[in-house]
Amino acid sequence: MAGFAPNNTPFPPLVAAHDGSNFTYTSLHDRVPHILTDVINDFYAAVQRTDSVDAVAEGKQLTGLLSKLKHEMVTDKPLTPLDDDGTGDIAEWNHWLAEYFSGGTWYSTPFLAWETYMYRRIATIFRKSQFWNTYDYFATKKEDTFRASMVAVAKLCARVDALTQETVADLGNSTKQHLAFVEMLQASLWGNQTDLSMFPDLSNEKLEEMQARISSGENNSKLAANDTDRIWKIVSQVHGGRVDIVLDNSGFELLQDVLLAHWLVAAGIAAKVVFHPKRIPWYVSDVTNTDFHWLVDAIQSPASVGATGLSTADERVLQGLGARWNELLNAGVWELHDELFWTGPYGYRYLPTKGADVWAGLTNSDMVIFKGDLNYRKLVYDLQWPVSTPFVDAIGPIADDPTAPAIVALRTSKCDTIAGVEPQRANELFAQRKDWMYSGEYGVIQL
């Protein structure tokens, strides 16, 4: 679209409503300050656990900076330039802020802009420090949630292990392969419901219920758009290719993504899978390199992370899968690329220009799967699109690029921006539930 810029978009961005009537306002007024409070409280507890006097003193300073950030947010102060923390992206962040949102306040700046800015500023506070520069202020929540769900994890892994063996034993059976792919794709989609920034209290029971709905097909009624058959037509023609997965949440969702990659390699569809985690802690539960390796090691050795309630058979399946995944990582069949672009200020329509190196790598792929709500919002730029706007129109230049891979979005909707939904389907969903776009209960599989 000619003339598109972060502050000059074809449809209005999501901005907090003055009357408090929209999800953006609720997020800025209630949900996100609560997340920041949790960061402060969890960090305070971490500071109390250290024996270093200097680390404690610095921890108090960092707590003050976090509290200052929260105060600026809730009192609607302007967004200020970021301090350089040596990561390599601050100059771009500050240029973006000055060029497009100079003087903008929290309540006047678009949702996607202030929210990503907040998470980048939190990271800056820690990365500039001496004693806490590698501290992941979300790690405890991420790891504790996964550790507590190990029984559900074991059941899922056993199911996928059996499904994969069935696929490998009958590779010539395209119908069976198709059905297995549909189940794996849907599992990866609905794993996105395990977003700790939206649903912080996940239990074994909830995860098992979710998995049962996937296996039974019950969740099909919650799909706002479903391009699975079109995606399968592409995938079924790929043999020994490359698939990229731009990751979202760690824990149970990451497990679903890893299991999908496991199946794609075992089925001979992919000879390489490239995962794209975040380089810094991001949006509470987003995957970092450390999170990825922690999960693989936890699967290979559940006892090492304090998992309980597993049977001998459960442990055998988990250990076998974990060992296999470490083999794939060591052999370079699976790779992790944590490019800074994913935590940068620009939406994904700017990949060919602002993320040229990243885009050059993605064009070597047969298919790129963008996982989750934030990646979707960055694909469609968090605008108030008419819901029937074709998905390829909403994502812009990366869809038109002749070198582009197939671009797939798997997202459970937790924000009121969406495209590619047929008008009749949208009317049905609004009749069922007015908040369907940001409830986290509905999803899309789009190409």
pLDDT tens string 264-305: 999 999 999 999 999 999 999 999 999 999 999 999 999 888
Q: How confident is residue 198, by pLDDT bands cut at 50, 70 and 90?
A: very low
**H helical segments located in 228-311:** 228-235, 252-266, 289-300
Decide if pLDDT at 195 tops 50: no
Percent share of the chain, pLDDT over 90 = 82
Decide if pLDDT at 179 tops 90: yes
Chain CA centroid to CA 430, Å:
25
For range 84-92, the mean pLDDT: 97
Specify the amino acid at residue 401. Answer: D
Sheet order of strands, 334-336 included:
223-226, 443-446, 406-412, 367-371, 241-246, 270-276, 334-336
Asked if residues 81 and 97 have their Cβ atoms less than 8 Å apart, the reply is yes
Decide if pLDDT at 196 tops 50: no
**370-416: pLDDT as tens digits:** 999 999 999 999 999 999 999 999 999 999 999 999 999 999 999 99
* Separation between Cα atoms, residue 32 and residue 372, nearest integer Å: 18
For range 163-184, the mean pLDDT: 93
* Separation between Cα atoms, residue 115 and residue 52, nearest integer Å: 33
For range 186-190, the mean pLDDT: 92
Decide if pLDDT at 199 tops 60: no
Q: Return the residue matching tokens 């973006």.
A: 96
* Separation between Cα atoms, residue 14 and residue 110, nearest integer Å: 6
Chain CA centroid to CA 310, Å:
28
pLDDT of residue 279: 97
* Separation between Cα atoms, residue 121 and residue 333, nearest integer Å: 35
pLDDT of residue 141: 87
For range 77-81, the mean pLDDT: 97
Decide if pLDDT at 203 tops 60: no
**For all residues of the chain together, what is the average pLDDT?**
92
Q: Helix (H, G, I), strand (E, B), or coil: what is residue 13?
A: strand
Q: Helix (H, G, I), strand (E, B), or coil: what is residue 283?
A: coil
288 burial (CB, 10 Å; 0-12 / 13-18 / 19+) is buried
* Separation between Cα atoms, residue 122 and residue 135, nearest integer Å: 11
* pTM of the entire predicted model: 0.94
**16-70: pLDDT as tens digits:** 877 787 889 999 999 999 999 999 999 999 999 999 999 999 999 999 999 999 9
- What one-character-per-residue DSSP string does 164-192 give? HHHHHHTTT-HHHHHHHHHHHHHHHHHGG
Asked if residues 362 and 242 have their Cβ atoms less than 8 Å apart, the reply is no
Q: How confident is residue 213, by pLDDT bands cut at 50, 70 and 90?
A: low
The pairs formed by 279-282 with CB atoms below 8 angstroms and a separation of 24 or more are 279/87, 279/338, 279/339, 279/340, 279/342, 279/343, 280/87, 280/120, 280/123, 280/127, 280/343, 281/119, 281/122, 281/123, 281/136, 281/137, 281/138, 281/139, 282/119, 282/123, 282/342, 282/343
